[in-house]
Chains A and B, each alone.
Chain A
Amino acid sequence: MTWSDLIWLAPEIVVALGASWLVLAPFVMRGSGVGAAKWQMLAILAVAGGVLVWASNTVTGMEQSSMFRAMFVLDGFAVFFKLLFVGAIALIVLLSEDFLREARYSPWEYFSLMAFALCGMMFMVSGVHLISIWIGLELLSLSSYVLAGYFKDEAVSTEAAMKYFILGTISSAILLYGMSLIYGVTGSLALMDISRTLSGLLSNDVLVFGIILLAAGLSFKVAAVPFHVWTPDVYVGAPTPVTAFLSTASKAAAFAIFARIFYMGLSEFHLDWSGVIAGIAALSMIVGNLAAITQDNVKRMIAWSSIGHAGYALLGILAMSEAGLIAIVVYMVVYVFATMGIWALVLMLRRREYAGESVADFAGLHARAPLWAFAMVVFLLSLGGIPPTAGFIGKYYLFLAAVGAGYAWLAVIAVLMSAVSMFYYFRLVVAMYLRDDPGAELVGGGSIRLVAAACLLITLGLGVAPQPMLEEVGRSLQSLIAVTLR
């Protein structure tokens, strides 16, 4: 490794230094309120974003030392996701402000953990080596466990953290075991080496077992059935901004590495693992969407629906095609902003010191806040994949990829389940527009409204004029497609 290699790592270094600073800041600085912490966090994110753009431009044409190249790349795929993470975390920071003001816990530690999680996410999407991916994933996971339990005095929050921690650790162990089996067969942990070795193998039971364990571990991270049981409890128990983080940025990151590992390393054994992934995808879509129907708690409903969405997105991995890869990336963008918007709405409502967690809290919202009720409808339509919202473009690509790869039956399940999903999404619409009983109080501050407005604009904008985003995604994926789908 040489000094110039640091340019590749510059964004992560900035975020890591920023995260460390946030821990120290309250002891060094005078003003230690939520506002100061928020602005410093946003400044760190802005710098990280700038450095990321600079680094990604600088490294083109530069020579990376060979050791490092096998571990860490800064290709279009990675840059795209890193920018998405930085943007998503910025929105979550804005969402967290009110919550931190009301809670007695330190905002500095909270933002610091958030920054460390971001660092992990950014690191892992660049990883092209199972170990570097795993290190990033663990940094993300450990920060997430603590964040999920951030309401130290609340039993549900602690329970959520405990559940998340235990199940998460087990899944990490499963992941590691899968990696070790793959290493045992291929003799390498670098994805390109694995891919090369696999192309010379006809079949190998140990390898397939390793791949399945790997898929199981990753399925836990993206919350796919049958590795989903932690999701509803953790989403409900964790503080709502943390839930927003887990269901958007963290999920997108998990999907990014899922795609990276399977497209880059394991595409040769597609036929051996596709059955398992197809089963997981089908189960996730069916169980997630059916279970969401009866939920009265919005956080729980979105948790189950996010399980269903994991199932849809898995179609993109299953397809093993250019369309599939585009589909995953597009779907993650679309999903992150629609879900973030829903969390903003949930945080805007307040009933007895709690966020608007139950469906009844949304009752009559159209009269009190017509714009936000409309925004909520747009987010829900987007999650359901109804044009002209961004969700339709995302779903469209996924179905295209699934049909193109010969998974018509999964596409049929997917479209039927998205019709089912509209049924429970519309329970919120019914509450907002068709019921007049008083719902929860509308208290959200300016920053939450800003997030909701931004998500609304993005969700509608990407739905009506998706061309720029699709072009950008296409450009970003070129290098990855070139090395994987030869």
Chain B
Amino acid sequence: MGLYSGEFPILSLITYIPLAGAIVLLMFPKENTGAIRTWATAVAAIDLALALPLWWHFERGADAPLFQFWERASWIDALGVQYLFAVDGIALILVLLTVLIGLIAIYSSYSAITTRQKEYYVLMLFLQTGMIGVFCALDFFLFYVFWEVMLVPMYFLIGVWGGPRRLYASIKFFIYTLTGSVLMLLSILALWFFNSGGIPFFGIAGLGNESTFAVLQYHEIGHLIPPDLQFWIFIGFFLAFAIKVPMFPFHTWLPDAHVEAPTAGSVILAAILLKMGTYGFVRFSLPILPDATHQLTIPVVVLAIIGIIYGALVSLVQKDMKRLVAYSSVSHLGFVMLGMFALNPMGVSGSVLQMINHGISTGALFLLVGIIYERRHTRMIADYGGLAKVMPVYATFFLIAALSSMGLPALNGFVGEFTILLGAVNRNIWWGVAAAIGIVLGAAYLLWLYQRVFWGPLDNPDNRDLVDVRLFGREGWTLIPLVALMIWIGVYPKPMFDLLEKPVTYIIEKANPGYYAAGRLPPYPAPPAAPAGSEAHARVAGEAAQ
């Protein structure tokens, strides 16, 4: 298998296939919508087929490298920008989730999108390239390019195919995220200066290293950055990622964007785009800025807990199903942030697993809301009742997704939430208490939603003739893979944890160096001090001593 041997740029292939597909799609005649849809689906399916084997070809042994499938090329020498692609366990799962959700989102749009179909599928494929690139890029500049590139297609997806308030929602999404990301750019610049020349005006001496944007280099030198500077760099990253996550006071774009976006757009937003924020924390903020992470743990955790409870309470009173699911994301992502900032292996690995879980469950919930919306053109909970009688298959899917989202044992949500709780309690019992309240409230709003929509009398005459989802029809097939994943992760999460163990240990060692020193041993030999990609920067250690 030459494709996955590490010689072949497989990650680039997976990243750019959707882009190439989109460019080919531009040449299709506009009227031939059938061919356009089939082509877009085929491209996404090929992408998934190429990405899936990564799961098996990713080496897991104790001495397997942390980052695999490296691709290195020079890109803009004048700036020290390289083209660096590689994935570790975390990025690998997220890439796989992205290609799967991308395919499902495209496949689920067949009936929902009836206008300007060609542009729609071009943008979907283009978006796919941006999202995969974000998870694969290990060069700050490259990462930033993908991060920004993705905004534009998402803006159009909401703005063109969205609901009645789409103009407002799309520009709000765009400006919010852009504001965060430009501040991140300043933080990246500050890191770059610290690594190379320093900023004499602020009295910050640089390390004098060769100028580079390689993320792993910054993992190595992060702890050398003076705490004051770390604080400001952290704030820049925090704003970008917290807006994307979204954390409590920065979440207001999310309900608007989610509600107005077309179903596929909401699915991608919830399942992938929000994960970019949490991924950013795991990949950049924590390992590069350990002092600032410690300094700001309490504020971040407070915001996360407020998010958990506030999101749940607001979900409880929603009248619109989609809005309810949207606010539940605020609550769930609060869990992710809480687990991450527990800064212990349970917390962080639970947090990463919960990113995936949230993508699967909330993605499924948005798909399900979309399915019923297409039939009835309303999302108001009050318009429904007793749907289980006419749509048993649909009701079953909905039940599984809701149970998974609220964390019922034997489904994926439980594993994630339980691990996060373990981590949180391990750090501080009150964090666990707050999270537990969130779990209870989560069960409340989802079960209450389910009760109002599916049980009770079928008293709205418009609902009598609803057509059920065909289990092995198109709609069924968009849901089956997600349900399968929910059950698999719920019953047998070991492969996931195996994959996460090494990157999580690495992150804890960087972000919380005291953790393993305090008598707790890493579950496997520590990773080599200088991982691949930073050979050229041997001066670091010497500077550290001074």
Interface of A toward B, CB cutoff 8 Å: 366, 377, 381, 385-388, 392, 396, 399-400, 403-406, 408, 411-412, 415-416, 418-420, 422-423, 426, 430, 433-434, 466-467, 470-471, 474
B156 interfacial by beta-carbon distance below 8 Å? yes
Q: Which 3 A-B pairs have the closest CB atoms?
A: A406-B201, A415-B182, A470-B78
What residues of chain B lie closer than 8 Å to A403, measured between beta carbons? 186, 189-190, 193, 199
Whether A404 contacts B79 by the Cβ 8 Å rule is no
What residues of chain A lie closer than 8 Å to B182, measured between beta carbons? 385, 415-416, 418-419
Bound Cα distance A404, B189 (Å): 9
* Contact residues of B between 103 and 120, Cβ < 8 Å to A: 119
B175 interfacial by beta-carbon distance below 8 Å? yes
Contact with A along B182-215 (1 / 0, CB 8 A): 1101100110110001011110000000000000
B4 interfacial by beta-carbon distance below 8 Å? no
Q: How far is the CB of B342 from chain A (nearest CB, A)?
A: 32
Query: Chain B interface: which size bin?
Result: 35 or more
Query: Which one of A366, A399, A416, A466 contacts B189 once the chains associate, using CB atoms below 8 Å?
Result: A399
- Which of A392, A404, A467: most chain B CB closer than 10 A? A404
Query: Which one of A387, A392, A404 contacts B197 once the chains associate, using CB atoms below 8 Å?
Result: A404
Bound Cα distance A399, B236 (Å): 14
Known A386-B152, A406-B202; judge A392-B186 contact (CB<8 A). Answer: no
Known A386-B152, A392-B148, A466-B76; judge A399-B202 contact (CB<8 A). Answer: no
B159 interfacial by beta-carbon distance below 8 Å? yes
Whether A415 contacts B171 by the Cβ 8 Å rule is no
What residues of chain B lie closer than 8 Å to A430, measured between beta carbons? 159, 167, 171
Whether A387 contacts B149 by the Cβ 8 Å rule is yes
What residues of chain A lie closer than 8 Å to B144, measured between beta carbons? 387
Whether A415 contacts B76 by the Cβ 8 Å rule is no
Whether B179 contacts A419 by the Cβ 8 Å rule is yes
Whether B75 contacts A405 by the Cβ 8 Å rule is no
Bound Cα distance A422, B148 (Å): 13
B77 interfacial by beta-carbon distance below 8 Å? yes
Whether B151 contacts A470 by the Cβ 8 Å rule is no
Whether B193 contacts A471 by the Cβ 8 Å rule is no
Sample (12) of A-B pairs whose CB atoms are under 8 Å apart: A381-B152, A404-B193, A408-B190, A411-B186, A415-B183, A415-B185, A416-B182, A422-B174, A433-B156, A434-B159, A467-B75, A470-B76
Whether B145 contacts A392 by the Cβ 8 Å rule is yes
What residues of chain A lie closer than 8 Å to B193, measured between beta carbons? 403-404
Known A392-B145, A405-B201; judge A400-B171 contact (CB<8 A). Answer: no
Bound Cα distance A418, B185 (Å): 12
Whether A415 contacts B201 by the Cβ 8 Å rule is no
Whether A433 contacts B199 by the Cβ 8 Å rule is no
Chain B residue with minimal CB distance to A434? Answer: B159
What residues of chain B lie closer than 8 Å to A419, measured between beta carbons? 175, 178-179, 182
Contact with A along B45-84 (1 / 0, CB 8 A): 0000000000000000000000000000001111100000
Whether A434 contacts B167 by the Cβ 8 Å rule is yes
Given contacts A386-B151, A399-B186, A405-B201, 19 further A-B contacts (CB under 8 A): A386-B149, A388-B149, A396-B185, A400-B189, A400-B192, A403-B193, A403-B199, A404-B193, A404-B197, A408-B190, A411-B189, A415-B186, A416-B179, A419-B178, A419-B182, A430-B167, A433-B160, A466-B78, A471-B77
Q: How far is the CB of B235 from chain A (nearest CB, A)?
A: 11
Interface of B toward A, CB cutoff 8 Å: 75-79, 119, 144-145, 148-149, 151-152, 155-156, 159-160, 166-167, 171, 174-175, 178-179, 182-183, 185-186, 189-190, 192-193, 197, 199-202
Q: How far is the CB of B210 from chain A (nearest CB, A)?
A: 16
Bound Cα distance A330, B235 (Å): 29
Known A422-B178, A433-B156; judge A388-B183 contact (CB<8 A). Answer: no
Q: How far is the CB of B198 from chain A (nearest CB, A)?
A: 9
What residues of chain B lie closer than 8 Å to A405, measured between beta carbons? 201
What residues of chain B lie closer than 8 Å to A404, measured between beta carbons? 193, 197, 199
Bound Cα distance A466, B144 (Å): 16
Bound Cα distance A388, B151 (Å): 12
Whether A467 contacts B76 by the Cβ 8 Å rule is yes
What residues of chain B lie closer than 8 Å to A386, measured between beta carbons? 148-149, 151-152, 178
Q: How far is the CB of A282 from chain B (nearest CB, A)?
A: 16
What residues of chain A lie closer than 8 Å to B192, measured between beta carbons? 400
Chain A residue with minimal CB distance to B147? Answer: A387
Chain B residue with minimal CB distance to A423? Answer: B175
What residues of chain A lie closer than 8 Å to B167, measured between beta carbons? 430, 434
Chain B residue with minimal CB distance to A400? Answer: B189
Query: Which one of A381, A388, A399 contacts B145 once the chains associate, using CB atoms below 8 Å?
Result: A388
Bound Cα distance A422, B174 (Å): 9
Bound Cα distance A366, B118 (Å): 13
Q: How far is the CB of B76 from chain A (nearest CB, A)?
A: 5
Whether B159 contacts A433 by the Cβ 8 Å rule is yes
Q: How far is the CB of B116 from chain A (nearest CB, A)?
A: 8
Known A399-B189, A415-B183, A423-B175; judge A470-B156 contact (CB<8 A). Answer: no
Q: How far is the CB of B230 from chain A (nearest CB, A)?
A: 15
Chain A residue with minimal CB distance to B26? Answer: A370
Chain A residue with minimal CB distance to B192? Answer: A400
Bound Cα distance A470, B185 (Å): 20
Chain B residue with minimal CB distance to A422? Answer: B178
Whether A412 contacts B201 by the Cβ 8 Å rule is no
Query: Which one of A387, A392, A474 contacts B78 once the chains associate, using CB atoms below 8 Å?
Result: A474
What residues of chain A lie closer than 8 Å to B175, measured between beta carbons? 419-420, 422-423
Chain B residue with minimal CB distance to A387? Answer: B145
What residues of chain A lie closer than 8 Å to B145, measured between beta carbons? 387-388, 392
Q: How far is the CB of A328 from chain B (nearest CB, A)?
A: 16
What residues of chain A lie closer than 8 Å to B186, measured between beta carbons? 399, 403, 408, 411-412, 415
Whether B171 contacts A426 by the Cβ 8 Å rule is yes
Bound Cα distance A408, B201 (Å): 10
Bound Cα distance A388, B148 (Å): 8
Chain A residue with minimal CB distance to B190? Answer: A403
What residues of chain B lie closer than 8 Å to A426, measured between beta carbons? 155, 171, 174
Query: Which one of B78, B160, B166, B171 contacts A467 once the chains associate, using CB atoms below 8 Å?
Result: B78
Bound Cα distance A377, B156 (Å): 11
Bound Cα distance A179, B144 (Å): 44
Q: How far is the CB of B154 from chain A (nearest CB, A)?
A: 13
Chain B residue with minimal CB distance to A474? Answer: B78
What residues of chain B lie closer than 8 Å to A422, measured between beta carbons? 174-175, 178
What residues of chain A lie closer than 8 Å to B149, measured between beta carbons? 386-388
Query: Which one of A366, A385, A423 contacts B171 once the chains associate, using CB atoms below 8 Å?
Result: A423
Known A388-B145, A422-B174, A422-B175; judge A470-B199 contact (CB<8 A). Answer: no
Q: How far is the CB of B223 from chain A (nearest CB, A)?
A: 22
Bound Cα distance A412, B187 (Å): 10
What residues of chain A lie closer than 8 Å to B75, measured between beta carbons? 467
Bound Cα distance A420, B175 (Å): 7
Bound Cα distance A407, B391 (Å): 62
What residues of chain B lie closer than 8 Å to A466, measured between beta carbons? 76, 78
Query: Which one of A387, A408, A412, A470 contacts B148 once the chains associate, using CB atoms below 8 Å?
Result: A387
What residues of chain B lie closer than 8 Å to A396, measured between beta carbons? 79, 185
Q: How far is the CB of A274 from chain B (nearest CB, A)?
A: 11
- Which of B79, B171, B178: most chain A CB closer than 10 A? B178
Q: How far is the CB of B182 from chain A (nearest CB, A)?
A: 4
Chain A residue with minimal CB distance to B76? Answer: A467
Q: How far is the CB of A435 from chain B (nearest CB, A)?
A: 9
What residues of chain B lie closer than 8 Å to A411, measured between beta carbons? 186, 189
Q: How far is the CB of B88 from chain A (nearest CB, A)?
A: 24
Q: How far is the CB of A275 from chain B (nearest CB, A)?
A: 14
What residues of chain B lie closer than 8 Å to A406, measured between beta carbons? 199-202
